[in-house]
Structure 1
């Protein structure tokens, strides 16, 4: 009888050991997830930034057009995004020649999965625009900083709008959605939740090459006027 009891107990003990092992793995996973979950907001470690102040109203040959109310078709800054982002900014700049550039900025203090910046190349089509072309580019700014950007041509009926945009995640510029996620993970490994900013520059013209050239000049002039304390958060940290 004792032998039969012993043999019958082996499977029971085996099941108990397996259950204990599984419980230990699950406990470790839970602890690891807790430890790996970012809890510190990067925005809280920095001086609070107000978009109205960070982006100058006048620089180079450009100044904010104050002759009428600001009216910008801005699909990527639609009303629903105001519920996600802490701050948004929309302006029209004009130069002495009468050229106009539209600047739209959306800032969020939490660049987690739920609030990662919405891409213009997704939001524009959602508002009825057709994307005629897309490309990546790198702009060399006056201080030698290299700014990766995305460019696209959006069209709605007769309106043709060349667009240049980029995302600043913490002190990094992340152009693609994959780049954004990798930067987020990089900060997450340090226990930090980065802030994020979408900057979009565009104008209305059927001449795409001239439109992009004007935007490049505008961004260069703007970069010169941005205060040094904000530069890395708006344009990315200088490459080392």
Structure 2
């Protein structure tokens, strides 16, 4: 009799554990709660002092086996200002940020394609005197004669963070609310610009871009501070 009771209790415990695991596993994609954001149509081809620059190719995420699953959209653009500074913008978007599918950090992407990269440094970038700063990471990638200073940030759900630890914490917090967050990588880089002024050029580009787009496009790029979890 006791053995039968133990078997029943063990079975109940297993079923309860399975149900709990199912309940705690997020199933709702945040990306499916609104219309698809068409990056190519919504991010301007020219703005302020920046005009389109054809022919300049940005380094794209490595074509590994997961790329098609990780990214739903990839858009690469090049711009030039009136002083001749060339800037490349790369945006990679994925509607699902899970344990298996997540954005590639640029330092990983560039290293995989034969570049040497410096140690990344992350700082808060004040793009507006009245808005929350954006966490921006900077590094320099070098391959043969190509020297490419880079600035980037990542949006996860409503938040911006570039660290693996914070990104995993965000996925857990969104997951406990039943959501699988979307994510987007925004990478700005320069070629042919002296390293000592590249940061200034990139900051001006990011500031001009964020201030030129409408609020919904800006929220796609840097999240929504009123809903952010961090």
| TM score, norm. by length of structure 1 | 0.86
Instruction: Give 5+ residue unaligned stretches, structure 2.
Output: none
Inter-partner Cα distance in structure 1 for 2:28 and 2:125: 32
1:102 to 88, 93, 96: 88
1:213 to 181, 185, 200: 200
Matches for 1:196-211 after TM superposition, within 5 Å: 196-205=183-192, 207-211=194-198
Q: Which residue matches 2:118? A: 132
Q: Structure 1 pair 103/144, CA: closer, same or farther in 2 (3 Å)?
A: same
Q: Which residue matches 2:62? A: 78
> Offset at 1:122?
1.2
Matches for 1:16-55 after TM superposition, within 5 Å: 16-55=4-43
Inter-partner Cα distance in structure 1 for 2:149 and 2:10: 56
1:43-73 Cα offsets, whole Å, 9 max, x none, are 111232111123111112112113xx3422x
Matched, 1:165 2:155: no
> Offset at 1:20?
3.4
> Offset at 1:16?
4.0
Q: CA RMSD in A?
A: 1.9
Q: Which residue matches 1:225? A: 212
Inter-partner Cα distance in structure 2 for 1:33 and 1:238: 30
Equivalent pair of 1:170/1:233 in contact (CA under 8 Å): no
| TM score, norm. by length of structure 2 | 0.89
Instruction: Give 5+ residue unaligned stretches, structure 1.
Output: 1-11
Report how many aligned residue pairs link the two structures.
224
Inter-partner Cα distance in structure 2 for 1:171 and 1:114: 20
Matched, 1:117 2:117: no
Q: Structure 1 pair 16/208, CA: closer, same or farther in 2 (3 Å)?
A: farther
Inter-partner Cα distance in structure 1 for 2:166 and 2:35: 25
Inter-partner Cα distance in structure 2 for 1:206 and 1:160: 9
Q: Decide which moves more: 136-145 or 120-129.
A: 136-145
Matched, 1:187 2:171: no
Structure showing greater Rg: 1
Secondary structure of the residue aligned to 2:120 is: strand
> Offset at 1:189?
1.1
Secondary structure of the residue aligned to 2:225 is: coil
Quick check: which one's helix share is greater? 1
Inter-partner Cα distance in structure 2 for 1:99 and 1:172: 30
Q: Which residue matches 2:143? A: 156
> Offset at 1:126?
1.1
Q: Which residue matches 2:52? A: 64
1:170-210 Cα offsets, whole Å, 9 max, x none, are 11112111111111111111111111101100012573331
> Offset at 1:82?
4.0
